[in-house]
Chain A
Amino acid sequence: MSILHTDSLTKVYGDINHPIPAVQTVNLTVDEGEFLAIMGPSGSGKSTLLYLLGGLDKPSTGKVWLRDADLSALNDDGLSRLRRTEFGFVFQFFNLIPVLTAQENVAIPLILDGAPRRAALKQADEALARVGLADRSTHRPSELSGGEQQRVALARALVTTPAVILADEPTGNLDSRSGDEMAQMLRRAVDERKQTLVLVTHDPRIAAYADRIVFLKDGKIVDENRLKGQDRAEQIREQLTKMALS
């Protein structure tokens, strides 16, 4: 069953004399419980597409549907509510609030949604435990390693049990071991909790964890792949090379 669906989605930057198309007429469907990776060269519009899917940005034309909710019909407060309850975001650069502890950072979406503080912090502790950071809950981001910070960000994304997790280069700032751990945790979230995950990456090893990959070039979907077999990362590399040469 489809959970995210786009209809001729387009985003153009710049003005009328110098338009810069970032996403062009993208029709994409993401099924519930699917792990979708979006790949492409730099400037292909991957992050833009992700932001449009999560309601962080408004399309120039076209629509985005979350189940049967048209995101373009929602006002800012409506989109904010969706981001609190239906979406979970993981960014490349962690984006933790430096003055809050790990626990408080994770609890933010719950508190913003009106949960009592004590209950929110308890849920945050549980989310931190799931990412293996139960003993670091009182530490501030500056006291955590890069990998730990990204795990806190992941816990924050998971704490509201969102329908869709959107991750923009979540391993881009991590070493390969931490990156693998992150990717495994994301995979577990999909498998164990049937959450949908849309992940933007340029790393074939990380994309190999996905059920499906869409390839973007110049803002358009140029290829799609449901990978099977052991050497998925290698297959992805070959596909990327072919795209680069074409």
Chain B
Amino acid sequence: MTTQTHHFRATVWQMALMGQRYLSGRKLRTVLTTLAIVFGVALIFAVNLVLPSVTEAFEQSLSTASSADIRILNVTGGSFAPGEVLATIADIPHVQAVSGVLERTITLPTLADNNPLGDIVQIKLIGIDPAVAENIRPFPMSAGRFLAAGDQNAVVFAAGVTELAPELQVGTTFSLITATGLKTFTVIGFIDEQGSLSAPPMYMTLADAQSALNQPGLINTVEVNIDANADEDAVTKDIENALGSSFQSDTASSVMDSVGALGIAFSVLDLLGFLALFLGAFLIFNTFRTVVVERHHDLAMLRAVGATRRQITTMIMIESLLQGIVGTLIGLILGYLLALAYISFIGQFYHTYFAGITIELRLIPSAVVLASVLGIITALLAGYLPARSAGRASPLEALRPATTARVNHAARWSLIVGVVLMLLAVALLLSGSSGAVGGALLFLIGMLFAAPGLIIPVARLFGPLLTLWFAREGDLARGNLARQPGRAALTGSTLMIGLAVLILITATISAFDVLVTNLTNAAFSSDIVLIPQAIAIYDTVIGADDSLATRLRALPETQTVASLRSAATESNGQRLQVFGIDPGAYPRGASLEFNEGQPDTAFSALASGRNAILTPLARSALGLEFDSDFVLETVDGPQTYHIVGVASDVLSFKVNAIYISQDNLAADFHKTEDVLLYLRLNPGEDTAAALTDVQQITQDYPQFTAYLTSDYGGDLIAMTNNVLPLFYALAFLILFPAALGLLNTLTINTIERTREIGVVRAVGGTRGQIRRIVIAEALLLGIFSAAMGVVAGVAISYGFIGAFGIIGWKVSYTFPLLGIIAAVVIGVMLTLFTAILPARNAAKLDIIRALQYE
């Protein structure tokens, strides 16, 4: 080992030892600073554990039990005529067996209590050709027999299903929802295998499946077995080349769209995690500034006996690193616990809406690495500037305080820079949606720069107010803040960011609430609505053929019946939901909120030619313009569609989706099931009586539940509101690092003024007066932070809400008065609360020791 290496290691070890000793000497501060990292790491880790686990659960629920060598699907996931496809595949070299399958995972409605299907909420309906299915794989039976050609209304389950439905046995009959209504099926056998329990496979003949799913003569999957010694990848490629770009092997299901929506929610949580880390960084920065101030004698001494700047910097950085490591470790543990808690909570939610999906939390190495790296880097970055500042101080500078002239000079320049940035930001904010987010962030940064220069004027402005309450101590408090505007601004900025985020979140929530309410009220212009088990994404829904709509139209009180049909596809690599509507009837039973285009023109255009209305999210995701063309993958190949409108309703505004005519949906996607129905009654009809009539009909179609539209709309709004408390709670949690920062600053201020406090006490000041000085200073800081926070919060909320326009959501800005009041009250209360301990410590100082303090 070279002398230099040895030297470096020896000093690093010594610095680490000192760092560890200092940290354990200030346990409370160490804990509080470490907590700054914990929260952010925990949130990010939890999010990055949960989302993949949920995604995996969805993927597993969709994966088939099939052990076919190769599975071929249409790129849209839709159904197609088997003839040519099967023949083409059969001709490929090394292909041994080919079998057409029609399968769909369906959500089962709650039927009678004695339903033999028991607790099964989702089932995978698999229609196979019994004549060739066993060429693909064997079906060893544990009871009964397998399917035979000609079987009708007969099903075979995997034996594992009896764990969920113990009453099922050979000969059991049960009712199953189909597109033509409830049908009775008989269990004829059990396959000797476990099968998926999240969506147990249920085999029936292809003909029965085609009837149940209203897909006569169609399949949606081809299972292929190849020669044992054949190269599977090569054969797969040959098959895909032969079939063309409309087909691919084993594509991901469109149910991933719902995970995509979940992903958006988790991105928000991820963002909050990053924000928490950012605030945590502020806190650590503040703490290490405290540390450098507190230890300036020790640091000066070290420099005096020969420590270099680099050695001093290293020492502070090692402390920062140690805190980062500990904080990250605790954050990982806490994050794991958060994820566990969330999984157990969300598992119940998914069991209700997506049914049978079992979410298991896995420890994902990449999530561990991501959260760890972020936590440690945050701590290091936050500690860097104070460490560098400590190293830069000469021994004598560290023994003497900075002059006021230098501090004020820095604050003035900072104010100028800040004001310029804020003016630029305002211009961006007013420029429109695209500049809104940038404007919001720039405004925040501008305020951070301007803060030190604003301390003194704000202190002067609110000073008289303070004097009302603190007649004698107010002036001292004002002077204290003015003496170190940089530090006061830094602390105030931490709280300012927290309060601004609080206002942002409350404003966003209110705006969103208004958006959903408006969309809900606009969407449901019908009187009665028939809702399936899952909404917005209908891939696990069995709809109804036109028999249901026909029966509804036949009711004497019905004026109009409009229906929605659904398929899935992709365009330009993006998954899309495709909604089929009757352009004539739909606007009479439901409505869409148009961002671009006119309703009359758009709807009538749907009826002629391949025209489409896009949801704003789809338009943004695909980067398309109104009145332009785009290519859509259909079952039979790509088709060009023309955009005649950009619109959505409350059920589709969060989804990448397009609306086309039901004729086009049938032609291009072979889908003819109604998945949502709207009824408009004749004027003056008794809606309650009409609902009863409708509910009689839906007894034969239990996949639908009939509601009075007014009731359902209210339920939707209530469902949205149920999530709000979680976001409010998160908004408050953001303030936690801010509170720690306040505590730190007030502590530093007390330490730095130890001798001054001793003098005040020596000349007759009481302990109570000392307490009041500290509290007055805290209050002034709180008012400063609240004022800055309100201004920043209004600006960034305006920006962020304006940014929703980028993705086409018409969210109008409402001045967040309640949020502002809450922010002011919370800001002031928080500062008073955090002042309690420093005030107490200041008051308790021994007079003689305080006077002797250097």
Contacts and interface: CB of A to CB of B under 8 A. Distances in A.
Asked if A and B bind, the verdict is: yes
A156 B11 contact: no
A81 interface: yes
B308 A77 contact: yes
Best-buried of A15, A77, A112, A117 by chain B (most CB within 10 Å): A112
B306 A95 contact: no
A20 to B, nearest CB: 12
Contact of A99 (B21, B300, B394): B21
Question: For the complex, would chain B's binding face be called helix, strand, loop or mixed by DSSP majority?
Answer: helix
A97 interface: yes
Interface stretch (A85-93, A126-134, A184-192, A237-245): A85-93
A166 B59 CA distance: 75
A80 B396 contact: no
A69 interface: no
Contacts of A113: 7, 306
B306 A84 contact: yes
B402 interface: no
Nearest to A115: B10
Contacts of B396: 51, 56-57
A136 interface: no
Contacts of A156: 305
A100 B18 CA distance: 7
A98 B25 contact: yes
Contacts of A109: 305-306
Given A83-B304, A84-B306, A109-B305, A114 B10 contact: yes
B306 A83 contact: yes
A236 interface: no
B13 interface: yes
A91 B298 CA distance: 12
Given A77-B308, A89-B305, A112-B306, A57 B394 contact: yes
A89 B13 contact: no
A138 to B, nearest CB: 14
B251 interface: no
Interface in B1-48: 3-4, 6-7, 10-11, 13-14, 17-18, 21-22, 24-25
B308 A98 contact: no
Interface in A104-129: 104, 108-109, 111-117
Interface string B302-335: 1111111101000000000000000000000000
B11 A114 contact: yes
Contact of B10 (A84, A89, A116): A116
A76 interface: yes
Best-buried of B4, B21, B311 by chain A (most CB within 10 Å): B21
Contacts of A85: 306
Contacts of B394: 56-57, 76
B819 interface: no
B84 interface: no
B297 interface: yes
B301 A91 contact: yes
Contacts of B305: 83-84, 88-89, 108-109, 112, 156
Given A57-B396, A99-B18, A114 B308 contact: no
B453 interface: no
A15 B405 CA distance: 11
B543 interface: no
Contacts of A88: 305
Best-buried of A104, A113, A114, A116 by chain B (most CB within 10 Å): A114
Contacts of B600: none
B850 to A, nearest CB: 15
A80 B25 contact: no
B474 interface: no
Best-buried of B298, B306, B395 by chain A (most CB within 10 Å): B306
Nearest to B397: A57
B297 A95 contact: yes
Given A51-B396, A99-B22, A112-B311, A117 B303 contact: no
Interface string B275-286: 000000000000
B304 A117 contact: no
Interface string A35-79: 000000000000000010010110000000000000000001100
Contacts of B233: none
A187 B309 CA distance: 33
Nearest to A83: B306
B854 interface: yes
B307 A95 contact: no
A56 B307 CA distance: 12
Contacts of A111: 10-11, 14
Contacts of A115: 10
B448 to A, nearest CB: 30
The 7 closest A-B pairs by CB, nearest first: A84-B306, A114-B7, A99-B21, A95-B301, A83-B306, A80-B308, A111-B14
Given A91-B304, A112-B11, 8 more contacts: A15-B405, A56-B396, A57-B395, A80-B306, A83-B305, A97-B301, A114-B11, A116-B10
Interface of A: 15, 51, 54, 56-57, 76-77, 80-85, 88-89, 91, 93, 95-100, 104, 108-109, 111-117, 156
